Structure 1
Amino acid sequence: MEEQKQTTSAPANAITEGVIWKQLLIFFFPIMLGTFFQQLYNTADAIIVGRFVGKEALAAVGGSANQISNLIIGFFVGVSSGATVIIAQHYGARKEEPLSHALHTAMAFCIFGSIVITVIGYAAAPVFLRWMNTPKDMMQDSVTYLRIFFLGILFVFIYNIGSSILRSVGDSRRPLYYLIVCCFLNIGLDLLFVLVFHMGIAGAAIATVLSQAVSAILIILALMRTTDIYRLHLRRITFYKQSLENILHIGIPAGLQSVMYSVSNIIIQTALNALGTDTVAAWTAFGKMDAFYWMVISAFGIAATTFVGQNYGAGKYTRVKKSVSICIKITLAAAVIMSVFFLTAGRYLFHLFTNDPAVIQIGIRILTYMAPAYALFVFIEIYSGALRGIGDVIIPAIMTCCGVCIFRSLWVFILVPLSPTIETITLSYPVSWGITAVLFIIYWRKKQKHFGCDTNSISA
Structure 2
Amino acid sequence: MKVTDNYVFLTKGPIHQVIGTLAVPTIISMLITNVYNIVDTFFVGQIDTQSTAAVGVVFSLMFVVQAFSFFFGNGSGTYIARQLGARDRHHAERMASTAFFYALCCGTLLAVFGLVFLTPISKMLGSTPTILPYTESYLGISLFGVPFLMGSFCINNQMRFQGYARYSMYGMVSGAVLNCVLDPIFIFGLHMGVAGAALATVVGYIFGFIVMLRMTRMSPNIIRYSVKRISFSFAYVKEILAGGTPSISRQGLAAVSTIALNFAAGAYGDAAIAAMSIVNRISMFVYSVVVGLGQGFQPLCGFCFGAKLYGRIKEGYNFCLKVGTVFLVFWAVFLFFFSKEAIALFRNDPEVIAVGTSALHYQIISYPLIAMLTVSNMLMQTCRKTIRANILAAARQGLFFVPLIIILPHYFGLTGVECCQAVSDVLAFLLAVPLVRWAFREMK
State the TM-score, normalized to the length of structure 2.
0.94
Which of 36, 51, 61 lines up with 1:57 in the alignment? 51
Change (3 A) 1:182 1:89: same
Deviations, residues 177-226 of structure 1 (Å, cap 9, x unaligned): 33332222111111211111111111110110111111111111222453
Aligned to 1:254: 247
- 1:99 and 2:92 matched: yes
Which of 10, 13, 16 lines up with 1:18 in the alignment? 13
For 2:130, what is the secondary structure of its paired residue?
helix
Paired with 1:317 and 1:38, the residues of 2 have a C-alpha distance of: 32
On the 8 A contact 2:53/2:270 being kept in 1, the answer is: yes
Paired with 1:336 and 1:85, the residues of 2 have a C-alpha distance of: 30
Change (3 A) 1:345 1:176: farther
Aligned to 1:443: 435
Q: CA deviation at 1:97?
A: 0.6
On the 8 A contact 2:65/2:150 being kept in 1, the answer is: no
Aligned to 1:361: 354
- 1:295 and 2:288 matched: yes
Aligned to 1:456: none
Bigger drift between 172-181 and 197-206 goes to: 172-181
Deviations, residues 126-178 of structure 1 (Å, cap 9, x unaligned): 21222344111110111121122222101100110001011101111123233
Q: CA deviation at 1:234?
A: 4.4
Aligned to 2:422: 430
Aligned to 1:393: 386
Aligned to 2:129: 136
Change (3 A) 1:54 1:314: same
State the TM-score, normalized to the length of structure 1.
0.91
- 1:46 and 2:38 matched: no
For 1:94, what is the secondary structure of its paired residue?
coil
Change (3 A) 1:60 1:364: same
Bigger drift between 327-336 and 65-74 goes to: 65-74
Q: CA deviation at 1:114?
A: 1.1
Change (3 A) 1:301 1:317: same
Aligned to 2:29: 34
For structure 2, the 5+ residue unaligned runs are none
- 1:216 and 2:180 matched: no
Deviations, residues 229-284 of structure 1 (Å, cap 9, x unaligned): 52222453453442222112322343134322321222122111221111112122
For structure 1, the 5+ residue unaligned runs are 1-6, 453-460
On the 8 A contact 2:72/2:100 being kept in 1, the answer is: no
Which of 90, 101, 106 lines up with 1:113 in the alignment? 106
On the 8 A contact 1:109/1:239 being kept in 2, the answer is: no
Bigger drift between 292-301 and 10-19 goes to: 10-19
Paired with 1:8 and 1:227, the residues of 2 have a C-alpha distance of: 9
Q: Which amino acid aligns with 2:84?
A: Y
Paired with 1:434 and 1:287, the residues of 2 have a C-alpha distance of: 17
On the 8 A contact 1:224/1:232 being kept in 2, the answer is: no
Paired with 1:9 and 1:267, the residues of 2 have a C-alpha distance of: 46
On the 8 A contact 2:24/2:293 being kept in 1, the answer is: no
On the 8 A contact 1:253/1:393 being kept in 2, the answer is: yes
Bigger drift between 249-258 and 262-271 goes to: 249-258
Paired with 2:67 and 2:438, the residues of 1 have a C-alpha distance of: 28
Q: How many residues align?
A: 443
Alignment RMSD: 2.0
For 2:156, what is the secondary structure of its paired residue?
helix
Paired with 1:295 and 1:446, the residues of 2 have a C-alpha distance of: 27
Sequence identity percentage: 23
Q: Which amino acid aligns with 2:40?
A: D
Change (3 A) 1:245 1:400: closer
For 1:152, what is the secondary structure of its paired residue?
helix
| Runs of at least 4 residues off by over 3 Å | 234-241, 399-404
Deviations, residues 82-116 of structure 1 (Å, cap 9, x unaligned): 10100111122221110011101111111211121
Aligned to 1:457: none
Q: CA deviation at 1:322?
A: 0.9
Describe how 1:261-280 pairs up with structure 2 within 5 A: 261-280=254-273
For 1:192, what is the secondary structure of its paired residue?
helix
On the 8 A contact 2:247/2:393 being kept in 1, the answer is: no
Change (3 A) 1:96 1:357: same
- 1:189 and 2:182 matched: yes
Change (3 A) 1:328 1:253: closer
